[in-house]
Amino acid sequence: MIALKLKSLLIALKAILLVFAFGINLSAAGQPNIVAIIADDHGVYHSTVYGSKEQKTPHMQSLANEGMTFSRAYVASPACAPSRHALISGLMPYRNGVVGNHENSNYKLDASESLIQQLIDAGYDVVFRGKVAHGNGKGVVPTGVVRLPGSNNLLDPENVEAYLVNRKDKTKPVALFIGPTDTHTIWPNEPGDVHFKLEDTVLPPKTFDIPEAHQLMARYNQSVENVDTTVGQVREIVKRQLDEDNTLILYTSDHGQNWPFGKWSLYETGVRVPLIAVWPGKIEPKSTTDAMVSWIDLIPTFLDIAAAPTVAGIDGKSFKNVLLGETARHREKIFTVHKGDKTVNVYPTRAVRTNKWKYMLNLFPEFYNTTHMDIKVFREGHTRAGQRNQHTFYDWSAWVQAAESNQEAAQFLHRYHARPKEELYLVEEDPYEENNLAYDPQYADVLASMRKAVQDRMKAVKDDKSLSGKPRLLKNNPLPPAFKLYFPNGGETLTSGQTVNVSWSPFWKGVRTVKLEYSNGSMWKVITNSTTHNGTFTWQVPAISSKTVTLRVSTADGKIFDESDKQFSISPSP
């Protein structure tokens, strides 16, 4: 028996020596290593994990195959600084002091407030490589963080491995935060750097199709694959240098893609992000979850799995039980906020997401929405000779030119620049938020409830509705000639004799009156030849029975118009 115990002891000792011989880092018992890969501007739909057939993302797919994919993960804000400050503090904008982008670069977190500091206090070696905090992170990143140098694009993590090999105490757990920025424009531009064919690129819904947009998307697709390469490189380092079975690896992004209705907006494509997690033996492979989680929950989750305390009174809360498969629920509501970026993107919006619904409150619908993508003033005033601003779409003018003769192009730009005060989407059935139900009386109770949730939240966090800079106004900026019909827009069931309010966008001021018509599937019939172009008309539903009804708002000559996106029904009165 003694000989057997000695033999077992020698085998164990030999295994330990082999581990050190190959440079493997063993963390303290009960505290897993943490590897968080945080991309920049990577849209949720742009990987095979989330349904894309364009990009080849085998390393992200490998994470999903070995772990858990979140279908409803959100950031606090669709811009870098407020999103990343929320991550590090566990506090939402208006509670952590960073609401607009590039506005509070000197914002400071005391050690008692910083969740990164909590990881250090819990015994972790914390390492940043690439973009983790926004800018240089002054005042936000604790002094105890090891910050490794190097480019964030085509990120070479070689010095990450060197650090792991050479760190003094390899029994300590390590928390690596890796921040590649390839998906943050400027994207690859040289023909030899982009292997995607333009005809193979797919534009996001709500985008008007032009060749120049495919060129942009091809470059972006290449950037996604470059980030995927980094994911694979980091995983290889984990295999070589860490105890892989005791390491949580997580992949996510700080907000959506730099694209119309993406970054700088609170649409799903702006604030919903990829989130994939692998933890061998703890997270079930090939698992998915609909649990709603927020970026403010990430580091509280890391602290929870490390059995470490977190900062009291924060907004974030651990979703460890979701990772372990012990629950399929986390949050009932996700709040998001957008303010602006100094003189750009001055279009403040608030939103709440529930299980089925998304409500957006555009605080100042009289503003003219712009972003870095299109705003000429920013291009000319903030770029150096011979260089391109990293966010600007220099072919935006192609969309503008198309809108001069194409109604779909005009409606695309109209919807981009001008938005109604309230937007309500049944996201479960309308994931790209194309059908605004805020004007449908059928959902009046839902609208009121969601509106109250946002108003209560704004009051609770002392939301002052302040602006990041001087706004541009619709009255001073020309919109393309277009209408957007809000109601009835398709799918509704109206009743003969019922009185409803036809609603459309009143922002384009090219005419004073509009014409309204409806079709029951065979011919157009006039509702009114001339009514004030103010966005609303009281209509008594005609005495017909049809499931193929369409409504149209147009100029008197019919050249500028919009129709219901889908057919709706009119049923006989009871």
pLDDT in tens, 306-339: 999 989 999 999 999 999 999 999 999 999 999 9
**Residue 235: closest CA among 178, 170, 162:** 178
pLDDT at 245 over 70: yes
What is the β-pairing status of strands 174-179 and 33-39? parallel
- CB crowding 485-524: b at 16 or more within 10 Å, else e: bbbbbbbbebeeeeebebbbbbbbeebeebbbbbbbeeee
pLDDT in tens, 165-177: 999 999 999 999 9
**Structure tokens of 220?**
């972006």
* H runs (alpha helix) in 384-424: 396-403, 407-417
Q: Residue 447 has what pLDDT?
A: 98
Domain boundaries, the chain: 32-184+220-329, 483-574
Q: Residue 20 has what pLDDT?
A: 42
Q: Residue 95 has what pLDDT?
A: 93
Q: Which CATH number fits domain 32-184+220-329: 3.40.50.970, 3.30.43.10, 3.40.720.10, 3.90.1170.50?
A: 3.40.720.10
Cα 420 to Cα 86, 257, 472, 508, distances in angstroms:
28, 23, 16, 12
Q: Residue 279 has what pLDDT?
A: 98
Mean pLDDT of 353-357: 97
**Structure tokens of 134?**
């926004």
CATH topology of domain 483-574: Immunoglobulin-like (2.60.40)
Query: Could you give the CA distance from residue 283 to residue 81 in angstroms, rounded to a whole number?
Result: 31
C-alpha triplet 83, 346, 90: angle, nearest 5°: 15
Report the predicted TM-score, pTM, of the whole model to 2 decimal places.
0.92
DSSP conformational letter for 534:
S
Share of the chain above pLDDT 90, in %: 81
Assess contact for 552 and 519: CB atoms under 8 A. yes
Query: Could you give the CA distance from residue 553 to residue 561 in angstroms, rounded to a whole number?
Result: 6
Q: Residue 2 has what pLDDT?
A: 37
Q: Residue 106 has what pLDDT?
A: 59
Assess contact for 23 and 165: CB atoms under 8 A. yes
Q: Residue 376 has what pLDDT?
A: 60
The mean of the pLDDT values for the chain is 91
483-574 shares the fold of 32-184+220-329 = no
| β-strand partners of 500 | 539
Q: Residue 124 has what pLDDT?
A: 97
Query: Could you give the CA distance from residue 519 to residue 48 in angstroms, rounded to a whole number?
Result: 41
The 3-state DSSP class for residue 319 equals coil
Residue found by looking up tokens 């999103």 in the block = 83
Phi-psi region of 407 (alpha: psi -120 to 50; beta: other; left: phi over 0): alpha
**Could you tell me the pLDDT band of residue 378, with boundaries at 50, 70 and 90?**
very low
Please name the amino acid found at residue 127: V
Stretch (H or E) spanning 567 = none
pLDDT at 35 over 80: yes
Assess contact for 262 and 268: CB atoms under 8 A. no
pLDDT at 348 over 70: yes
Query: Could you give the CA distance from residue 568 to residue 438 in angstroms, rounded to a whole number?
Result: 16
3-state SS, one letter per residue, for 484-495: CEEECCCCCEEE
Q: Hey, which bits of 254-348 come out as E strands? A: 272-273, 275-278, 287-289, 293-294, 334-338
Assess contact for 368 and 326: CB atoms under 8 A. no
Stretch (H or E) spanning 482 = none
The 3-state DSSP class for residue 360 equals strand
Q: Residue 3 has what pLDDT?
A: 39
Assess contact for 496 and 573: CB atoms under 8 A. yes
C-alpha triplet 268, 269, 270: angle, nearest 5°: 90
**Could you tell me the pLDDT band of residue 110, with boundaries at 50, 70 and 90?**
confident
